Amino acid sequence: MTEPASAASDVTTDDAAEASPAGTSSTEAASTEAASTEAASTEAASTEAASTEAASTAHPPLAGTAILVTGMNYAPEHTGIAPYTTGTAEIAAGLGASVEVLAGIPHYPSWRVDPDYRWRLRSRESRNGVEVRRARHYVPRSPTALWRMPWDATYVLNAATMRPRRRPDIVIAVTPSPGGVVVGARWARAYRVPLGVVVQDLVGQAARQSGMSGGGRIAGAVTRVEAALLRRAARVAVISEGFRDQLEEYGIPGERVVSFPNWTHIQVTAVDRAQVRRELGWPDDAFVVLHTGNMGLKQDLGNVIEAARRVDAADRIHFVLLGDGNQRAQLEAAGRDVAALSFHPPVPDELYPKALRAADLLLVNELPSVGEMSLPSKLTSYFAAGQPVLAAVSAGGACARELTRSQGAGLRVDPADPEALLAAVRSLAGDAGRREAMGASAVAYTERALGRDVAARNVLGLVTALLADAGRGASPGRTPR
């Protein structure tokens, strides 16, 4: 799959242990083409991470702290929000905490249930030092705004009766699924501990902006529910500073809002581009423009298809859409006669960074209506790959803001304009020097802001703030009565 989460280890399942409730109570960049530069930066990052890990192992700052994490999406889902929820839990565990996760079943971005979880009402597994407990829920074949309601509600009904195995000191819930916050708030209230919410998307505004069927009709109601839920949190962590204005409208004091940017969760090394292209079936002599991840309404990939339709044979440009999603079948039908376009299914974890490196240009594409309420999770991987990024996105949106923060790693063009998209591709295809400079900016931004060491500091900061809200430091959890 695309955008892989951390690889799992020691994964086990225990259906018998979950056969009944234990108790019931009320998701502008790029990099240098020089492999030596990338190798050096990767080695430096690895050395720094190793030093941080060694220090944490010797004196774990969260030892004795019990954390409950709630949210629909978790590994082995490889794209969207799951890699970051997984990373948050695993980083906290690496810092010494005892971490338990109440997650849904793997189903994104295909919106099909992973066969390994199809017939299990509940399951339990150990994944990289984290206990992950799964609550079976409804998965719609077509995730419209209407059908997302039972998707969320069935998760809540199941997970809200899965009493934590150890009394948590704090609870961290993850959006965009409101159900993750509902479940988190339920257990935070039951144990009288602080609730922190990591906001990956603002759901009410996202429903209005996404182009999803029925989204506009329910956006107002969803916004009111979302605001009420977030006001119950002791801390609200945002992945984009653009979320703050909306949170202020929700009535959440600024001092309760903390910055919690996403980080890169892939390992990038030098690759044999020709070999990777052969493995993926890409043309060896073309300028490859790659879009990865979810193929949904929000991505508006029809714009990319129309840009590819305008490619001349002399351009030697080829667009690749790699991933899955509820719009893939329609997109494949629309692009069936386009010679400069190909589709590729999600790739395994180890191949995804290589695919990014084998491309010439990495693409983000969004509906014009997508603004500050959603930030594409693929951007961190794009930056880490050290390839130039082209983004057909709104000038006032979170993605454009992130490109500005990268200080030259990407180029923005207006969305829903295939002529402008193709013109930008042609311009970059003919300017190797600019692409190299954009790539170098991406590497620098990754080292400066997107490393796992930065993520570890942010996780520790959020947990520490929540423990302070509880009026105590880390302390051993107690078995619930």
Give CA–CA dist 325/328, Å, rounded.
6
pLDDT at 8: 44
pLDDT at 214: 52
pLDDT at 34: 37
Tokens linked to 167: 């009394």
pLDDT at 209: 54
Q: What residues in the chain have per-residue pLDDT under 50? A: 1-56, 213, 473-481
pLDDT at 198: 98
pLDDT at 202: 85
Domains within the chain, CATH numbers bracketed: 60-263+451-469 (3.40.50.2000), 273-448 (3.40.50.2000)
pLDDT at 47: 44
Give CA–CA dist 188/68, Å, rounded.
9
pLDDT at 351: 96
pLDDT at 103: 98
Of 467, 471, 470, 461, residue with least CA distance to 257: 461
pLDDT at 472: 52
Block residue for tokens 């951390």: 6
DSSP class of residue 61 equals T
Of 143, 136, 83, residue with least CA distance to 113: 136
pLDDT at 208: 60
